[in-house]
Structure formats: C-alpha cells, structure tokens
Amino acid sequence: MSGNLIDGKQVAARLRNDVAVAVKSLAVTPTLAVVLVGDDPASHVYVRNKIKFTRETGMNSVEQRLPADTSEDAVVETVRALNADPDVDGILVQLPLPDHINSNRVIAEIDPDKDVDGLTEVSAGRLLLGKSGLRPCTPTGCVILAKETLGDLTGKHCVVIGRSILVGKPTALLFLEQNCTVTIAHSRTENLSIVCRGADILIPAVGRPNMVKADWIKAGACVIDVGINRIEDASRKSGTRLVGDVDFAEAEPVAGAITPVPGGVGPMTIACLLRNTVLAACARRGLAVPDGLAI
C-alpha cells in the first residue's frame, strides 16, 4: 500500500470506535431509525451495513421497511410518527425512493433535530448561517479525512468540483468553517484543469469516471475523491469495477495524499452518520458532546 494513500476504512473504524466509547458514556442509548421503501438492491445493502454498525457501536436500530407500492402519504406518516417518538434520536430516509414518491416532500417532513443525513432545508440553512446543527455525512467525512492528513486546514486552498446540494455545496461550506479559501468549480468553469491545479485540497464530486488527470493536480496536494462510478472491466468476474472521478493510476504519483475508490470516502459516510446520531441524542437532551466526536 502506498505511503500517500488515505485509508478511509481505517479512519472510519477509528471514528466508529470513538462513537462506541461516547455511547457508553451517555446516560441514554441513542436510537437511529431507518426508513427503506422498495426493493432497490444497493439500498438494501447500504441499510444493512448501517444497521450492523449502529448496533456494533452500542446504539439502538429501528427499521421501517415499506413495500415499493407504499403511497407517498403513508411514507410521510411514517416519518411523522418517528418525529413524535421520544426514543428516536435520528431519522434516515434511504434514497432513492420509488418514482411515484416525491423525495423532497418526504425529506421536508423530517424533524431537523433528528435529520442525521443533514438533508432538510433547515439543516442546510443552519450550515449556511454557521449555526449549530447536523451536517451532511459525506462532506463531513471529507473534512475529517483532510484534517487527518493535513492537520489544521486554516489558509489552505480547497477546490470542490461539483455544485450539488448533496455534496458539492455543503462540502464547500464545511471547508469554509475550517478557515479554508474555497473555490467551487463545475462543468462550465473556464480552464477547469488550471483552477484545480491551484488547490492544496482537491475534492472531485461530479460522477465522471477518471475525469481528473495528473496534470490537474498540484504536486503534493491532498486529493479526496468523492466519485463512485461503475465501469466495464472484462478482467473482473462481475464484468465491472468501481472507480472514482480521479484517474488514480495517473494521480497517485503526483498527489501528496489521495483517497482510493473504493475504500476512501465511502466508509466515512456511515461512520459520520453514527456520529450524527450521537450528536442528535446529546443536543435533544442538553448533553455535552462527548470527547472524540468534535471535528
């Protein structure tokens, strides 16, 4: 394994351990509720992993599995019931939802104080205004990996490629909170490769396989690849393999530190979800944030 590889699995395991220690220190056991609608195979695998790690850290897991033909109103009522349950600290609605359900309406129903995915408009507003609240998991994972690699991020130039509301925009805001100078780039950015080459921290999050080449990266930069793309690979039994938005083989010799795909940002997303559940439990009960969970 290369010495400049950022091992997301290792960092995530350490964060999960910090969560488990924090849970033991609390007078209550936090509870995460997951709402899963339909039979999407990837969603089922993802939810299964979330439930597994939730229980491994000593927290309670509540599952609401609903058939694919469940009405939008019924899903909304499920969320409202979880909002009203005093024992539930975090609510996660697994996306994507079936096509007949308006995801925006369902997400809007989640109590912001239980919004452990950080997806509601209130959560986004709190982030934009610099107010305390629950932050999106994948962007938070990016910050943790960057700090793990570089330490204090003050003054670093962070370039985020992508302006989505799920990753790009919140990632930029979270790095601003760390006193970085932040540039948000996207498909219409002029001289995109030159903009990226000015980054101390480069975060591609666009969903285009192997887009970022070696000459887009400043020598010694920290590269955190959020992209997860499945491409054809005849050498694999499955016929496909996962790659990021960065051409890893090209970029690794140039970067000072780089995340692999898979095994980089992905494991951090679930670990940060567990962290958010503890933070939500503490905030709802007026408890101090346990040691080890502050960023």
- Catalytic amino acids? 50, 94, 117
Say yes or no: 82 and 196 in one domain. no
Say yes or no: 141 and 263 in one domain. yes
Between the CA of residue 131 and those of 134, 167, 182, what are the distances in Å?
10, 19, 19
CATH number at residue 70: 3.40.50.10860
Say yes or no: 108 and 204 in one domain. no
Say yes or no: 152 and 252 in one domain. yes
Say yes or no: 196 and 97 in one domain. no
pTM reported for the whole predicted model: 0.95
Say yes or no: 105 and 144 in one domain. no
CB 64 within 8 A of CB 94: no
Residue 88 falls inside a structural domain: yes
Residue 16 falls inside a structural domain: no
Residue 8 falls inside a structural domain: no
Of 1 and 255, which is predicted with more confidence?
255
Residue 52 falls inside a structural domain: yes
The pLDDT, as a whole number, for residue 1 is: 41
CB 256 within 8 A of CB 221: yes
Say yes or no: 103 and 184 in one domain. no
Partners of 63 in the β-ladder? 34
Convert the pLDDT of each residue in 224-266 to its tens digit. Answer: 999 999 999 899 988 889 999 999 999 999 999 999 999 999 9
101 among annotated binding-site residues:
no
132 among annotated binding-site residues:
no
Residue 31 falls inside a structural domain: yes
CATH number at residue 250: 3.40.50.720
CA atoms within 13 A on the CB side of 293: 26
Residue 22 falls inside a structural domain: no
Closest CA to 50 of 33, 65, 74: 33
Provide, rounded to the nearest whole percent, the portion of the chain with pLDDT above 90.
Answer: 90
Say yes or no: 143 and 92 in one domain. no
163 among annotated binding-site residues:
yes
Which tokens sit at 171?
A: 């990632």
Residue 121 falls inside a structural domain: no
Nearest 10 degrees: CA dihedral of 251, 257, 263, 265?
-100
- Element spanning 127, H or E: helix 121-129
Convert the pLDDT of each residue in 79-121 to its tens digit. Answer: 999 999 999 999 999 999 999 999 999 999 999 999 999 999 9
Into how many domains does the chain fold? 2
Residue 60 DSSP code: E
Residue 14 falls inside a structural domain: no
- Please give the residue range of the domain that contains residue 177: 137-267
141 among annotated binding-site residues:
no
Only one residue has tokens 């980089």, namely 264
